[in-house]
Amino acid sequence: MKKTALCTLLFCVLGFSMLQANTYQTDSLKSIKPTYLSNEQYLAYTKANPFELVLVAEINNYPSPQKALQYAQQLNLNAAQKSQITQILNEMARKAKEMGSFILAQESKLNTLFKEQKINDGSLIFYTNKIGALQGELRNAYLKAHIATKKVLSATQLQKYKQLVVVN
């Protein structure tokens, strides 16, 4: 029991240290794309392209801050609304970039462990749980922004948004 708890603690400490200390060969996005990630997954982690992550919000009339600003004129957004939605969008983008880089770092480490035949039950549990938690944080950031954006818009603006953005 003590040995398991100690190993778990060690994995947590090592994982956190590696997350902060790892340096990778980078491209212009300052991240790497593990070969097994789809382009959609990679873009969701690097370019705030989260369609699948926010679909639940979009189909239930929780507007995207990005789209709300895109349709600012049609929605008759006032200066205060534009400012609020811009702040929401900026915070969402900051959080998404942060979580995306963390996810890619963990995916890269997991890939390396498999590639070097060094994976074991403990490291598998650690990295898959860590990646899952980070993916949850990423989705939370996107959905939180949709909720916040809805609060900024009036009922009339929400109805107009729904007409402008058809999600099937």
pTM of this prediction?
0.72
pLDDT band (50, 70, 90) for residue 142: very high
Statement: residue 8 has pLDDT above 50: no
DSSP 98: H
Dist CA 136 CA 94 (whole Å): 16
Q: How far is CA 59 from CA 27, 44, 102, in A?
A: 35, 19, 28
Q: At what angle do helices 2-21 and 79-115 cross, to 10 degrees?
A: 120
- Evaluate if residue 49 carries a pLDDT over 70: no
Whether residue 22 contacts residue 113, with contact meaning beta carbons closer than 8 Å, is answered with no
pLDDT in tens, 111-124: 999 999 999 999 99
Question: Taking 50 as the threshold, does the pLDDT of residue 12 lie above it?
Answer: no
The 8-class DSSP code of residue 22 comes to -
pLDDT grade for 20, boundaries at 50, 70 and 90? very low
Predicted pLDDT of residue 38: 78
Lowest model confidence (mean pLDDT) among 42-46, 52-56, 67-71, 152-156: 42-46
Between 98 and 47, the more confident residue is 98
Q: What is the pLDDT of residues 156-167, one digit of tens each?
A: 999 999 999 875
CA distance 144 to 95: 11
- What's residue 53's pLDDT? 83
- Give the tens place of pLDDT for each residue, 71-98: 999 999 999 999 999 999 999 999 999 9
Domain residue spans in the chain? Answer: 78-168
DSSP 8-class letter at 28:
T
* pLDDT beyond 60 at 5: no
Contacts of 120 (CB under 8 A, 6+ apart): none
pLDDT at residue 48, as a whole number:
60
